[in-house]
Amino acid sequence: MTTVSDPELETVAWDLEELVEGDGTTGVDRLLDEATRRADAFAAAHAGKMTELDGPGLVGVMQELAGIQDQLGRAGNYAALQFSTDTADPARGALLQKVQERATQLETKLLFFELEWAALDDARAEELLAADGLDFARHYLRSARRYRPHLLTEPEEKVLTEKALTGRSAWGRLFEELVSALQVDLGGGEEVPLDSALSQLLSPDRDVRRMEGIIWSTRMGERHVIGMSDCLWGLLDGMNDAGLAVSLTFGGRRVLGDGFGIPLVVRYLLETCDDVASAREALARLPYALAHNLTVVDTAGEVLTAYLSPDREPFFRSVPAATNHQGMVEWPEQARATRTIERERCILDLLADPDTTAASFEESFLRSPLFSTAYDSGFGTLYTAAYRPAEGTADYRWPAHTWRVGFDGFVEAEHTEVLAEGSVA
């Protein structure tokens, strides 16, 4: 693989001085001091007095809050963007930490406003929202009231805000520091930062996009997981040391919604579930971005295929096979291109045949119609995985090569497979 290096581009850096009026870290301190002074005055003037506000008064309150947030935001963006360009620089890390601490102090001082605003009855809130001059803040104020059923008392909310500084925020910063230091070998001994490597997943060149092919052996939590990666964090399939295995197929429906990408769902199942029953429970409550099918099996012999879509509730069948449709074909062109009906029938016939053995069943995935060489149209087989959760081993198969890994014997190695358009007997 070849990457293009532009020496002039590599010298380009953000000019952040405009955020702090050209005063660098001194400007950050000045912005924080001024925001703190204004927050103190705001709390003294308005805490406990939300019910006394009229429409023009709410406009003035929101203008003052916007000014405070602007100053805090400029200081925070300056520190965060500087840190992102060199996470190994202690001075930049210290500046970001200071800004986060000061921001938390300000947030706790201003916390009363959202709580008091959410506590107003709906009729009074709507009356105030109708005020002239509130266009810049009306959406924010409406959105803040949506969380009224989930808000705690002010002392409790302050505790959560303060804990976030050493909890979620600290972990976020640690994540940035660790990930920014990662180097990825793209082949030929060339190493690039992780973000540069990830950008290759969006390359218009299909050969570049499908280069990832990393088999992970991980222990992120309590479970040891082996699986084929997707976008480095997610998995296309895999198994865990509790005896659960998961496989994935596209669902053959042209729907899109708000939800999780399916590789993260596969990773989540293998990190948190021990058997088919717990996997089904998890799948029933998650939202999904696209239509996909997941088949899960455990060492007790339980098997389940989940048909997932963003526009309807998941439905489940106790069948051990899934191809690229969900019960019925809804995208005929895609169904013909992937031979989804033919492949499903082939799998079910093999499973029903008393002469089929585990070995012969696995071999059938290395020949047509279960193996495809339609790479030019984007439907070629990249690999076949045979997971044996009871044994804790997995075979990654190609027509002329088998790569075995396991929980007790995972050895780092590499395999190069030439993917060529053609036919497989």
**What pairing do the DSSP bridges indicate for beta strands 183-185 and 191-193?**
antiparallel
Return the number of other C-beta atoms located less than 10 Å from residue 110's C-beta.
19
Element (DSSP H or E) covering residue 41: helix 24-46
Domain 212-406 = CATH 3.60.60.10: yes
Residue 157 near residue 151, CB atoms below 8 Å: yes
Concatenated DSSP letters of 119-155: HS-HHHHHHHHT-TT-TTTHHHHHHHHTTGGG---HH
Tell me the one-letter amino acid at 316: F
**The pLDDT of residue 3:** 46
Concatenated DSSP letters of 371-422: S---TTTT-----EEEEETTTTEEEEEETTEEEEEESS------------SS
Query: Is this prediction's pTM over 0.75?
Result: no
CA of residue 323 relative to chain centroid, distance:
25
Residue 304 near residue 244, CB atoms below 8 Å: no
pLDDT, tens digit only, all 425 positions of the chain: 344 455 665 666 778 999 999 999 999 999 999 999 999 999 999 999 989 999 999 999 999 999 999 999 999 999 989 888 877 788 988 898 899 889 988 988 998 998 999 999 999 999 999 999 999 999 999 988 887 888 778 787 777 766 766 666 666 766 666 666 667 666 566 677 766 666 666 666 656 655 557 898 998 888 999 999 887 678 999 999 999 999 999 999 999 998 899 999 999 999 999 999 999 999 999 999 999 999 999 999 999 999 999 999 999 999 999 999 999 999 999 999 999 999 999 999 999 999 999 999 999 999 999 999 998 888 899 999 999 999 999 999 999 999 999 999 888 888 888 877 764 44
- Residues whose CB falls within 8 Å of the CB of residue 381, separated by 6 or more in sequence, listed in order: 370, 371, 372, 373
Q: Is the dihedral of CA 7, 9, 14, 17 positive or negative?
A: positive
Architecture, CATH, for domain 7-179: Up-down Bundle (1.20)
**The pLDDT of residue 343:** 96
Residue the block writes with tokens 């959406």: 139
Task: Work out the burial of residue 57: count CB atoms within 10 Å of its CB; fewer than 13 is exposed, 13-18 middle, 19 or more buried.
Answer: middle
**The pLDDT of residue 1:** 39
Q: Where are the domains of the chain?
A: 7-179, 183-211, 212-406
**The pLDDT of residue 29:** 95
Q: Is 177 left (phi over 0), alpha (psi -120 to 50) or beta?
A: alpha
**The pLDDT of residue 148:** 81
* β-bridge partners, 268: none
* β-bridge partners, 398: 401
Enumerate long-range contacts of 216-219, CB under 8 Å, 24 or more apart. Answer: 217/405, 217/407, 217/410
Token duo for residue 286: 């998650």
